């Protein structure tokens, strides 16, 4: 039986129309998929757990928009992480640095 993490968000979350790939901004290694978003953070699902309390520098790659840099970067801190199923970990993250470019790009995925 899996323990439930109570929803402590103050903002409402929105599911994306499609999943968005997230990469480590510095190494370009694949991290996971953004499943939903709020004005304060994101839910990412990946095959490796993210460390609670750690700050991460992520990059989004949008191959549909050639006018953007290779990666649109943002920073977020992992608030919680839990195993979901046999192969995936869901992590709730709060934005710590969300540049305007990233804010606009994330909003375009809704």
The Cα 71–Cα 85 span in angstroms is 30
Domain boundaries, the chain: 19-108
Report how far residue 37's alpha carbon sits from residue 99's, in angstroms, rounded to the nearest whole number: 15
Q: What is the CATH number of domain 19-108?
A: 2.40.10.220
Q: Which two tokens stand for residue 58?
A: 């992520």
- How do residues 27-60 score in pLDDT, each as one tens digit? 889 999 988 888 899 999 999 999 999 999 999 8
pTM for the model stands at 0.78
């Amino acid at each position: 039986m899996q323990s439930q993490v109570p929803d402590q968000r103050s903002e409402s979350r929105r599911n994306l129309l499609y999943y968005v790939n997230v990469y480590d901004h510095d190494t370009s290694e694949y991290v996971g998929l953004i499943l939903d978003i709020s004005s304060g953070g994101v839910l990412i699902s990946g095959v490796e757990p993210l460390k609670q309390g750690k700050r991460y520098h992520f990059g989004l790659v949008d191959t549909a928009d050639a006018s953007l840099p290779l990666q649109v970067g943002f920073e977020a801190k992992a608030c919680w992480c839990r195993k979901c199923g046999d192969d995936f970990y869901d992590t709730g993250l709060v934005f710590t640095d969300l540049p305007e470019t990233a804010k606009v790009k994330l909003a375009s995925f809704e």
